[in-house]
Chain A
């Protein structure tokens, strides 16, 4: 059992750490690289960029994704942009400022050294992507354009219309396809990782299921890289793609990898509200809308009048009232929490009562409809398509939704988990965003990890593994394969009365209610008990039709929901243990007298890393203390 964690952060001045580390890391010579097999799970920004780069370096890479093509990973849905400290706008940006904004935005719950490296590498990412042909927006002179984003004071965000994630992913995907053609990467689409294999304590392979034939097989390698994204879909409704899941990281956790800060989830304030129980997912609308839209609810609850019939004095512009200096532009967590509060008071709008108005009538009066159309036309069209309402005539209705998770598997400075040989990249790890992620930083981290960090740090591990080749025929692999097969047979043999979706939806409602935008000890304890009961019912009463040796989408979903039912309990436990409020984690017991998040640096300035200890026993909490040498911890205020 682990008791302390070594983050392996190099010594020396902050801005020299990464160079120093690379200078001191072990290397694998070009002629030796083809002797090493590397497994990459996931083909989003982190996975595709890692697989392509490692293939290009000469390693023998196997890349797996559950989608039908690596180009469809969920990174593709990111709209806004990618940050980089290029300072092309000459507005005072710098590597240090990007580093500082990211640390502060994360409410001082991330590692200084990791975040500084991210800010440094941001410069190389833009160069790399432009060279690949990513069509970033440009000025008339032909140079790159920037915009401001997410409440920072500089314009450092690079973007490709509202499709930045798509274009960056296609860049990485094309690089990956080039390596596939060159034979350095073998791609396995429609193949899902279902377990991790350890040999002598090192991660040496995975067990996968071919989603077309249902075949279960083991795959051996010298190291395993997980880039499998976040766990927002534990809430059932989120802005994530339907297939996003926690399975790869959760199975690795059950094999010994520590899960860090699972309670750190981000809830985005401007999403289209839920319209009914049949709904399968939520749609996010760029938060840039808050630049011109005014958020309000009626003063009185259950007001039956249409919004244009409610006079000015009977409206509550609650963000402008409570935060006069930031108004509608308060950070995401605060905007979300306040929307929940007014809806809890019974003043929410729409049929469900879970919505607030985002009103453009003042902006339209001031700038004219054509100007607003110019700025947000595509968003208004999207809103019309989904809700059948014309936001030029009537206010939009919005409500917060889960869309990103900052928690993930614990990793050290090398992006290696506590299991030697298991590396974790992108949203799947916990490392860079603390308790709250800034806008346009997720894409930056995915590509930083994949293109620039892992190619250097993986060599440091592989250099120690010469001559330690394992085979998928070894007993360790057979044992895990048997575990996976047993579990699938069990899922298929229950033939109960409830569908997988029913369980998923029930779990989602529960964690959204108790571990969503506001949390307290009583609710979390209640949730933990209910999740446990729900899990027991699942394994007795779920109905999965068909068999394992075929294309079976219900079976895929069942396996993922079974893992969410276990993971959800850890998320609630972590939220219960962290008795402070910070970033997206708001404990009702820890607030300032004005009702704002109150951090407790004395007791909670640490990473909470959880160790799995068995099905019936409480996981073991290991704390990695966070030290701050270069920034001063402060209380955020937006009044």
Chain B
């Protein structure tokens, strides 16, 4: 298969970027999207041109490293991550636009690579249950109803890729934050820090320049881990309750 690529190239975070045209020739239909870029890069190196920088690691859809916007959609057409997209989804001769995840809180590093460290800052602000190693009680001492554990697992499935932010017109990180707040807030183990957690995480999110949720649901549509936007409602409830209690100092 052959494709016309329009790829965002940007030397570093300070330099301006622009789209450049490349031909992707003789691509096997069973190659993945990232393997297609590997092939293009091998050709570029052969003619002495700087290869296209992009992030990837596990290439099986779980690590959350890959982060391309393909034809305007984070992770491209279909469900799943960029690395799980295969060229047979495109038609021979297609023109494909490739861009980085764009958001104020995700500053560019080079070409298609951006810095998503802001997500780590949000977790730092409270996305954990504090357990001193060695002091945990016997695991079965605290039963967790199966439906609660299952729902917590659905929230915990978030891979932290940032597609939700890239898809949102407001660059909101609410789906990401709600996934962690729900995962830990649903479980009995997470109750002690439930209120401080949601307040700190939301405040950190605002501080970092992420926007607010206005119910576009673009995040849910592109989420490769299929995290549901209903967790955002849960986040809003937890936040409202915690901030009211904080204001009333109870």
Chain A contact residues, CB within 8 Å of chain B: 49, 52-53, 56, 67-72, 74, 76-77, 86, 88, 124, 126-133, 135-144, 160-161, 163, 166-167, 170, 173-175, 177-178, 180-181, 187, 189, 212, 239, 241-243, 275-276, 278-281, 283-284, 385-388, 451-452, 455, 499, 501-502, 543, 545-546, 550-551, 553-554
Contacts of B128 in A (CB 8 A): 132, 174-175, 177-178
Q: A-facing mask of B30-63, CB < 8 A → 1, else 0?
A: 1110110011001001101111010111111011
Contact of B58 among A77, A126, A140 (CB under 8 A): A77
Interface-central residue, B63, B132, B184, by most chain A CB under 10 Å? B63
Partner of A275, one of B28, B50, B64, B143: B28
CB distance from A184 to the nearest CB of B (A): 12
For the complex formed, measure the closest distance between the CB of B64 and the CB atoms of chain A, giving whole angstroms. Answer: 6
Given A69-B116, A142-B143, A181-B124; A133-B187 close (CB under 8 Å): yes
New contact pairs (20) apart from A129-B139, A180-B124, CB-CB < 8 Å: A69-B116, A69-B120, A72-B58, A128-B134, A138-B149, A143-B143, A160-B153, A166-B159, A174-B123, A175-B128, A175-B133, A241-B59, A242-B57, A279-B31, A280-B34, A386-B86, A451-B134, A502-B42, A551-B113, A553-B51
Which of the listed residues B42, B84, B138, B153 has the most CB atoms from chain A within 10 Å of its own CB? Answer: B153
Q: A278-B31, A278-B39, A499-B42 are in contact. Are A545 and B51 (CB under 8 A)?
A: yes
Task: Report whether A276 and B153 are in contact in the complex, using a CB–CB cutoff of 8 Å.
Answer: no
Q: Is B88 a contact partner of A388 (Cβ separation < 8 A)?
A: yes
B120–A178 contact, CB under 8 A? no
- A161 neighbours in B (Cβ, 8 Å): 153, 157
A388–B32 CA distance with the chains assembled, in angstroms = 12
User: Do A133 and B45 touch (CB < 8 A)?
Assistant: no
CB distance from A235 to the nearest CB of B (A): 15
- A72 and B139 contacting across the interface, CB-CB below 8 Å: no
Q: Which residues of B contact A (CB under 8 A)?
A: 12, 28, 30-32, 34-35, 38-39, 42, 45-46, 48-51, 53, 55-60, 62-65, 80, 84, 86, 88, 109-110, 113, 115-117, 119-120, 123-125, 127-134, 136-140, 142-146, 149, 152-153, 156-157, 159-160, 183-184, 187, 189-190
Query: A101 CA to B59 CA in the complex, in Å?
Result: 32
For A71, give the chain B residue with the smallest CB separation.
B160
Per the bound structure, the CA–CA distance linking A76 and B60 in Å amounts to 11
B123 to chain A minimum Cβ distance, whole angstroms, is 5
A-B contact pairs, 26 of them (CB 8 A): A67-B63, A67-B65, A68-B115, A68-B117, A74-B58, A77-B62, A86-B139, A86-B140, A128-B131, A128-B136, A131-B189, A132-B128, A132-B189, A135-B152, A135-B156, A138-B143, A138-B146, A166-B157, A175-B131, A276-B31, A278-B31, A385-B84, A452-B134, A499-B42, A545-B50, A551-B113
- Nearest A residue (CB) for B60: A283
CB neighbours (8 Å) of B139 from chain A are: 86, 126-127, 129-131, 144
Chain A residues closer than 8 Å to B133, beta-carbon distance: 49, 52-53, 56, 128, 175, 451-452, 455
Q: Which residues of A contact B189 (CB under 8 A)?
A: 130-133
| Number of A-B residue pairs having CB atoms within 8 Å of each other in the complex | 207
Which chain A residues lie closer than 8 Å to B57 at the CB level?
67, 72, 74, 241-243
Closest 7 pairs (CB-CB, A-B): A142-B143, A174-B128, A131-B136, A135-B153, A127-B136, A130-B139, A241-B57
Residues of A within 8 A of B117 (CB): 68-69, 189
Give which listed residue, A76, A170, A181, A239, contacts B156 with CB less than 8 A: A170
Beta-carbon nearest neighbor of A189 in chain B: B117
Contact indicator A242/B56 (Cβ below 8 Å): yes
Alpha-carbon distance A143/B116, docked complex (angstroms): 37
Which A-chain residue is minimally distant from B64 (CB atoms)?
A72
Q: Is the CB of B63 within 8 A of A77?
A: yes
Beta-carbon contact of A133 and B30 below 8 Å: no
B136 to chain A minimum Cβ distance, whole angstroms, is 4
Q: In the complex, what distance in Å separates the CA atom of A241 from the CA atom of B63?
A: 9
CB <8 Å contact, B129 and A131: yes
Residues in chain B near residue A455, CB distance under 8 A = 133
Q: Which residues of B have CB within 8 Å of A243?
A: 57
Residue numbers in B under 8 Å from A141 (CB-CB)? 143
Q: How far is the CA of A139 from the CA of B190 in the complex (A)?
A: 20
Q: How far is the CA of A543 from the CA of B48 in the complex (A)?
A: 9
- Which residue from chain A places its CB closest to the CB of B45 in the assembled complex? A499
| Minimum CB distance partner of A178 in chain B | B128
